[in-house]
Structure 1
């Protein structure tokens, strides 16, 4: 079984994916991990590779192709990332949603800085990513119709979210 966990920054995807991987004893692969691997393969720091990705759409394509490859070649994994649901064809696709203010509050809690600075950065990042996703893949990140389950991550704590996703995983036959 392949499960994808997607959502905007601060929605709780990494936390949920890690908890699920631990519960089921399966590997969790994040788009961030793929990004770090590609940076290393290109002998670049994360900051250098990130700067390159801003001006070179082939970086996004490489990350997406790597996720597609992982999704088609491996079984019993959890793939976490903003576009993971779009990159995996036969998967239980989960989207975690949270209002922007809550997501920014979580980002500030996790990474520091002021709410105003992180809000500005988040708005800019999300607008930029939405344009890139549309231009590169024809994906409207706001269209959640491909997802099997959409969960508001402000309603439940991480364990509650994992219980909901676990019910969906188990109902779909679970990991083999």
Structure 2
């Protein structure tokens, strides 16, 4: 089975993907790992590759194409990334959401940064990504109609949220 986990920064996609990967014994491929792999292939540091990605939309396209290739080749894999649900044409697709202030608090905590700094950076990043995804793919990140399940992660810790998702996944396509 193919499972995709998507959501905005701080919504819990990395945590949930990791838990589901362990639970099902499935390989986890994150957009971040694809990004690191492509940086290495281009003999660049992550920082250099990141700066190039801001200026060159072909890098986003490479990351998304790599996830699309993996989704088409692999049978038991979890793809995690903002557009993973759009890149895979089949499987069980999850969108995790959470209010902006909660996501900012989570990001600030894991990056050991201030709320105000992360707030400004996240606003800028999400606006930039939203515009790029509309321009490149015609994707509106606020349209969740392609997902099998959309969950707000604000009220559950990752373990409890995973339990909900495991029940949904285990009963997917059941009659």
Instruction: Output the CA distance in 1 between the equivalents of 2:138 and 2:112.
Output: 34
Match of 1:69 in 2: 69
**Which position in structure 2 is the counterpart of 1:4?**
4
Matched with 2:26 is 26
The match for 2:150 is 150
Note the 1:1-176 alignment, pairs <5 A. Answer: 1-172=1-172
Distance 1:59 1:157 in 2: 33
How large is the RMSD of aligned CA atoms in angstroms?
1.1
Unpaired stretches in structure 1, ≥5 consecutive residues: none
- Structure 1 distance, partners of 2:139, 2:79, is 18
Counterparts of 1:19 and 1:85, CA distance in 2: 18
Whole-angstrom distance in 2 between the partners of 1:6 and 1:137: 16
Q: How many residues get paired? A: 174
Tell me by how many angstroms 1:105 deviates.
0.1
* 1:122-167 deviation digits (Å, cap 9, x = unpaired): 0000000000000110000110110100011011110111111111
Distance 2:32 2:6 in 1: 12
Q: Secondary structure at the match of 1:154?
A: helix
Question: Aligned partners of 1:119, 1:112: CA distance in 2, in Å?
Answer: 13
The TM-score normalised by the length of structure 2 is 0.97
Instruction: Spell out, residue by residue over 1:4-55, the C-alpha distance to the aligned partner (whole angstroms, 9 max, x if none).
Output: 0000000000000000101111111100000000000000000000000000
1:169 offset after TM fit, Å? Answer: 1.3
Partners in 1 of 2:136 and 2:50 — Cα distance? 17
Shift of 1:173: 6.5
Separation in 2 of the partners of 1:138 and 1:104? 26
Distance of 1:80 and 1:91 partners within structure 2: 13
The TM-score normalised by the length of structure 1 is: 0.97
